[in-house]
Amino acid sequence: MIITTNITMSFSFWSTNYVTTVLDSDTGNCGLKPKVLSETGAPAPEELKTSPEDQKIDAAKSLINLFLQDKVDKTTKDDEKTAPEKLPVTEDLKTALTEAKSPADDQKIRKEDAVRVQKVIDDLTVMETETDAKPEETEHPNKAFGWAAKDKSGVLSPFHFSRRDNGDNDVTVKILYCGVCHTDLHTIKNDWGFSYYPVVPGHEIVGIATKVGKNVTKFREGDRVGVGVITGSCQSCESCNQDLENYCPQMSFTYNSIGSDGTKTYGGYSESIVVDQRFVLQFPEGLPSDSGAPLLCAGITVYSPMKYYGMTEPGKHLGVAGLGGLGHVAVKIGKAFGLKVTVISSSPSKEDEAINRLGADSFLVSSDPQKMKAAIGTMDYIIDTVSAVHALFPLLGLLKVNGKLVTLGLPEKPLELPIFPLVLGRKMVGGSDIGGMKETQEMLEFCAKHNITADIELIKMDEINTAMERLAKSDVRYRFVIDVANSLSPP
Ligand SMILES: [Zn+2]
Ligand SMILES: [Zn+2]
């Protein structure tokens, strides 16, 4: 590997990349954060004091950035076939982190941050080792085929790789359909700075269980199953023990991550996947495989906060800000809970669709000051799916006393939080990120019972690059889903 240390990355990258990553406006992403960087870098360097211990921690973080940048750069080099070398900073990193994690420094770096930082190192060390030793095609015993982005151009093309043998706790899934999430787009283009190519995206997977391990009790061969955003976690931390695997510091993503077997994960734009049973979902009877697939990300992303924050009381008034992949599902789920639902959008042209196609009760044009004024103090809850930077003040104004606003987007800069309406109206602002496995199963059953699916455009695998271009322009109503089983065939 050629090590090109990019100094300009270091601190400025660490402190700002999390908030300057590009996120779509009004179209919904699954809330998947750039975990590797953001979660490990909780305190921005400028917020830390500059004692020698702090400097050590800063140095550790800086080194990790350089390390990551090297990984990213490597994938775009012509000479990537050059025999990879161990990055010499790895040991320094470990030393710096060990020191940073010593008990005396607990106040400087939170324990969970230390765990996450360690996970980055472990992941990267594994990736390094894997790159050294095993090409993707022969890494595991079972041949696999899919479509991958090979570099940050994001262009997807056929890709031969391999899947692990089905273990005792595993379910092998033949993939039928896979939804196309905004996170897929961000990852293939390396918008978040931690894509490790080749990337096989896809985390809205519906398929058939074709093999189950001997410890698998929840599934049988032939079952229709789903796989969502996460495929691994530590299974023993406080979050995992509360069925909140989605907040586990060691959670593995379905793609572009390191799985429980210590190897890189590849997602659903492929013929099959092998997943630990804990992260496999029964796909309820009556829920269509194609239009049900996006529920595995978009569905749970809006369902979980509605349940957690108690936004489900029939007759209450829910505002849904932004009408995209997340917003359109939020409208349907809100109606199923018996809420009065108003779509809040800056595009008056969406009114007809919101009301007549999606079933919203009313439509509020956020750019119309008269209408916004008339709606002040009328809503009990707001689900805010807008990912662009936007003002919270007008939304908080729409809430009644005790109103709740939950944000699901990840704007590129911090939003201003107006305190007056919060204090004077006992209002609250919260956040949420996908959901745990138990709740995801519950959500699927809820959607099956209430006939909730995503509105989709079904595409063939070889139409994915055009679909990605359209997705980048938010030109989709409301989710692309790939007909994997009928259109994916090795060249
Ligand atoms: Zn997603
Ligand atoms: Zn855990």
Instruction: Answer whether 293's CB lies under 8 Å from 184's CB.
Output: no
CA of 419 from ligand 2 middle (Å) equals 34
The mean pLDDT of the chain is: 82
CA of 329 from ligand 1 middle (Å) equals 13
For residue 308, give Cα distances in angstroms to 2, 240, 317, 455.
Answer: 48, 16, 17, 25
CA of 241 from ligand 2 middle (Å) equals 7
Tell me: the pLDDT tens digits for 336-388? 999 999 999 999 999 999 999 999 999 999 999 999 999 999 999 999 999 88
CA of 29 from ligand 1 middle (Å) equals 6
CA of 269 from ligand 1 middle (Å) equals 13
Residue intervals of the chain classified under CATH 3.40.50.720 are: 298-431
Tell me the pTM. 0.77
Count of other CB atoms within 10 angstroms of residue 245: 28
Closest CA to 299 of 270, 332, 251: 332
CA of 181 from ligand 1 middle (Å) equals 5
- Rounded Cα distance between 358 and 250, Å, is 37
Token pair belonging to 61: 């973080």
Instruction: Point out the ligand nearest to the CA of residue 24.
Output: 1
User: How does residue 11 score in pLDDT terms, banded at 50, 70 and 90?
Assistant: very low
Token pair belonging to 178: 């896979």
Instruction: Point out the ligand nearest to the CA of residue 252.
Output: 2
Task: Classify residue 462 by its DSSP letter.
Answer: G
Q: How many residues does the chain have?
A: 491
Q: Looking at residues 220-234, what average pLDDT do you find?
A: 97
DSSP SS3 for 282: strand
Yes or no: domain 298-431 corresponds to CATH 3.40.50.720: yes
DSSP SS3 for 317: strand
Do strands 399-407 and 379-384 pair parallel, antiparallel, or not at all (unpaired)? parallel
Instruction: Point out the ligand nearest to the CA of residue 251.
Output: 2
Residue intervals of the chain classified under CATH 3.90.180.10 are: 142-293+439-447+454-487
User: How does residue 71 score in pLDDT terms, banded at 50, 70 and 90?
Assistant: very low
- Rounded Cα distance between 152 and 162, Å, is 22
CA of 246 from ligand 2 middle (Å) equals 8
Instruction: Point out the ligand nearest to the CA of residue 230.
Output: 1
- Rounded Cα distance between 200 and 387, Å, is 24
CA of 358 from ligand 2 middle (Å) equals 37
Token pair belonging to 342: 């108003």
Tell me: the pLDDT tens digits for 302-334? 999 999 999 999 999 999 999 999 999 999 999
pLDDT of residue 144: 95
Kindly report the CATH class assigned to 142-293+439-447+454-487: alpha beta
Cis preceding-peptide flag for 269 (omega within 30 of 0): no
CA of 32 from ligand 1 middle (Å) equals 6
CA of 13 from ligand 1 middle (Å) equals 24
- Rounded Cα distance between 433 and 390, Å, is 19
CA of 295 from ligand 1 middle (Å) equals 9
